[in-house]
Structure 1
Amino acid sequence: MISGVSDVAATTGRLPLDSLQFGLLAVALLVVVVVVSVASGPRGRKAIPALRADATAGVRRVDEDYRHVPGQLAPLEPQAVVVVQPVKYPEGSAARRTVERVFAELDLQAPVWLETSEEDPGAGQARRAASLDPEVVLVLGGDGTVRSVAAGLAGTSIPLGLLPGGTGNLFARQLKLELNDLARATREALTGKDKRVDVGRVSLDGGEEDTFLVMAGVGFDAEMMAGAPAAIKDRVGPLAYVVSGARRLRGRSIPLTIQVDDDEPVEARVRMAVVGNCGTLIGGLILIPDAEVDDGNLDVLTLSPRGLADWVKVGVRLVLRRRDDREEPFERQGRRIVITCEEPQQAQMDGDVIGKVREIRLHVEPGALVIRTPDGRVPRRADRLTAALRR
């Protein structure tokens, strides 16, 4: 116990206010670990080192009318296309030059660059890239760009290579890909092996389907993201979620129904319900232990903490990687999952707030996406647990 607390407790029979404040701060920080892991990821990633002045700079571009012509020879059939978020990585940026330098070092023709836009964050560029029939499509951008490009490539045989271009790099973390060295990540994406993985599809209140790669859900996590003012996030980043989360720690439970495949629907009152294609958060925190990115299933998990003490238990279990099935109202696998709320609730998908919904229908498309990894493998549950124990 913190020095001085035991004496006060002995004389008054209760903890001082500072201890309660400390407890709330601890819970808020645990909440940031769990939710910000999905929403934004850690800051402070190592900067890309400065490049030589003579770094290769050959850049090929594709205009709106360019289309693949069957039977035509290179250079119209590029070896690789890079879909890039131009706001983060404009033409001439160090990151782009790093990628081009690796192509030159491997004696490959310069890549075709396709830039995303506010109107089209990546899916359209992925389809255009596929029309060029490249050997691989690389993506350099944030998690939203990765998700959009994956949506455009799903169902094709063209592999997707992930470059560390975001703050969170959520999907790349699940696959244990290189996160800090852009040159190494580019080299591995160009010389690695291919592996098919699952993608999740989600429909909100009967609307059009969208794609997610990591997690989607309703409740506390989405409420926290939605409640963090943009102005504060711009100034303090993930700390904005501390304020938002602290205000919602004692929120009401959500009455909802969960149906997995053709099983009988299960009614529950929960604080949050999460469906995962992957199950590990940033820092090695295992939220959904049984989730595998290539098992042909989605995993649904609910959490129902009733107050401060319960939130502390949730945070401790995540940090210590312990499971207590008696404290989890619901944890199952299936190919199709339907979550129906009595009233509209805030929802999120791969960390992006998607508004209030009443019904979420999710299903998995097994092996729909080809990804490029160094050895053609993806981490298994045993690998994740072993890595976690070593930290």
Structure 2
Amino acid sequence: MSMVPSRTQPHAAVVYHPLKTDVAGLRSAVEAAEAKAGWSSTRWYETEAEDAGLAAAKRAIAHGASVVLGAGGDGTVRAIAEGLRYTEVPLAIVPQGTGNLLARNIGMPLGDLQAAVEAAFFGSGRTIDLGSMTIVRPADEHGASDEEEHAFLVLAGMGLDARAIRATRSKLKKRVGWLAYVDAGVRTMVKDKPLEIQYSMDGSEAKRLTVYTVMIGNCGLLPGGVLLIPDASIDDGLLDVVALRPLGPFSWIRIWNKIGWENGVLRKTKAGRRIIDLVNDTKNVTYVRAREYSLAVEGPEPVQLDGDDFGLAVEVRGQVDPGALIVRVLPGWQRPE
């Protein structure tokens, strides 16, 4: 009588932020789904103060996870994605944070724990790009400067956006969510001066520019339905770079008109797009598409990745990593137009 070798059943892993995650609810949903799928017991990895999820995600991969559920805010999801890039192990997002940026951009319903777990065990894989950023720190007293490289999923930036995130009050963020960034942005806008940068795209000659902020986008939908970068696509092999520029005393009115009215309202209809074409497009907001980018400043400036403060830098550079991550999705998920 021949012996049939036993097959090892796949197992999932959950990397979760303990202070942001509904652990009991998530555990219940995961146990039901793994039983329905016939998988082995899911392994659980808690993030720590010194590890937002990168090391935990790498441990999950080393232990043979077939899918990693990332539960927490944008910082947790970003760190897990950094650990999963180019591994072909899919990420299933369990959005539990303030902005939930990637979840919004793939059309995932927020607050639906069951749908998130359903996608992890029974969804299909969607291949998306990641952005990469190398951060060059200010030189120390000996003239040496450190560099560190990180991935981002949605948006990285230097200027007003990074200053606002650095100035965001943590207590206010807990109380009112993403509106805390608006509060910080207004306070920063009133007191801060524009930024002088040197920039290069796709290896072009460096040029100088005065900006409020420069943001590098992998996708363009922000909380509140704000469509910062209308043409950004998460799987086109390109990054979309947007510069907000101070051109005259009414710059911010023109910028908010561009982002809020044109991008948020007019671009949704053919008639609206014709209206945009008939008027002079504001030069306060500039869009460029590129595979590689480089930004340099004279003095230390804050840098943000997916809404998290990443400290001070004098230079940032990076590129798109095409098809670097697989995310689990369900039928019907698409970014709202």
TM-score w.r.t. the length of structure 1 is: 0.71
Provide the rounded CA distance (Å) in 1 between the counterparts of 2:16 and 2:178: 24
Provide the rounded CA distance (Å) in 2 between the counterparts of 1:73 and 1:180: 36
Q: Does the 8 Å CA contact 2:13/2:67 hold for their aligned counterparts?
A: yes
Which residue of structure 1 lines up, in the alignment, with residue 304 of structure 2? 348
Written as runs of structure 1 = structure 2, the 5 A alignment for 1:1-391 is: 73-74=7-8, 78-89=10-21, 93-205=24-136, 207-230=147-170, 232-233=172-173, 238=178, 240-250=180-190, 251-305=192-246, 309-320=250-261, 321=263, 325-328=281-284, 330-375=286-331, 379=334, 387-388=336-337
Provide the rounded CA distance (Å) in 1 between the counterparts of 2:315 and 2:49: 27
Map Cα deviations across residues 323-366 of structure 1 (whole Å, 9 max, x no partner).
66442463211111001112222221110112221111121111
Q: Does the 8 Å CA contact 2:73/2:100 hold for their aligned counterparts?
A: yes
SS for the counterpart of 2:20 is coil
SS for the counterpart of 1:248 is helix
Paired AA for residue 129 in structure 1: A
Paired AA for residue 144 in structure 1: G
SS for the counterpart of 1:327 is coil
Which residue of structure 2 lines up, in the alignment, with residue 27 of structure 1? none
Q: Does the 8 Å CA contact 1:199/1:365 hold for their aligned counterparts?
A: yes
Q: Does the 8 Å CA contact 1:99/1:182 hold for their aligned counterparts?
A: no
Q: Does the 8 Å CA contact 1:78/1:132 hold for their aligned counterparts?
A: no
**Percent sequence identity over matched residues?**
37
- Structure number with the higher strand fraction is 2
Provide the rounded CA distance (Å) in 2 between the counterparts of 1:326 and 1:314: 8
Structure showing greater radius of gyration is 1
Map Cα deviations across residues 176-220 of structure 1 (whole Å, 9 max, x no partner).
112221112211221111121111111111602111111111111
CA positional deviation for 1:371 = 1.2
Q: Which runs of 5+ in 2 are unaligned?
A: 137-145, 267-275
Q: Does the 8 Å CA contact 1:83/1:139 hold for their aligned counterparts?
A: yes
Provide the rounded CA distance (Å) in 1 between the counterparts of 2:176 and 2:70: 27
Q: Does the 8 Å CA contact 2:70/2:92 hold for their aligned counterparts?
A: yes
SS for the counterpart of 2:250 is helix
CA positional deviation for 1:100 = 2.4
Residues 177 and 196 of structure 1, relative CA distance in 2, 3 Å threshold: same
Provide the rounded CA distance (Å) in 1 between the counterparts of 2:229 and 2:6: 47
Which residue of structure 2 lines up, in the alignment, with residue 46 of structure 1? none
